[in-house]
Amino acid sequence: MTPWLILAPMTALYAGGAYFLKLYAMSASPLWLAPSFALYLTGNLLYALILRETDLGVAAMASSLAGVVLAALIGRVFLGETLSLVQLIGMAFGLVAMALVLAPVAR
């Protein structure tokens, strides 16, 4: 299986874990920790599968940036959080960087 097919569900799991961790931070109820940890653990298992197929640097870049973008989207949609124009531009630069890192290269 191509590692990039695993990236989408892994990113969704990480972002879901971040969402529940944010709910914990807002409420201090330990009930939010269990789903957060479960999602992070499952996401890390998928990350291990990605690492079997690709370089660490490429995998780390792709998973980190995809997670940042999805977490920001979840923050906006479900928590009403906003990003400044400068932060949005920074995320756009990150996506360009990710595209360059993932671009096929001749070896």
Read off the pLDDT of each residue in 42-62 and give the average, rounded to a whole number. 91
- Cβ count within 10 A of residue 103: 7
In the predicted model, is pLDDT for residue 4 greater than 90? Answer: no
State if pTM tops 0.75. Answer: yes
Q: Residue holding tokens 């531009």? A: 89
Give Cα 10 distance to the centre of its chain: 7
Instruction: Tell me if 75 sits within 8 A of 81, measured CB to CB.
Output: yes
Give 8-28 pLDDT, tens digit per residue.
999 999 999 999 999 999 998
Give 68-96 pLDDT, tens digit per residue.
889 898 999 999 999 999 999 998 998 89
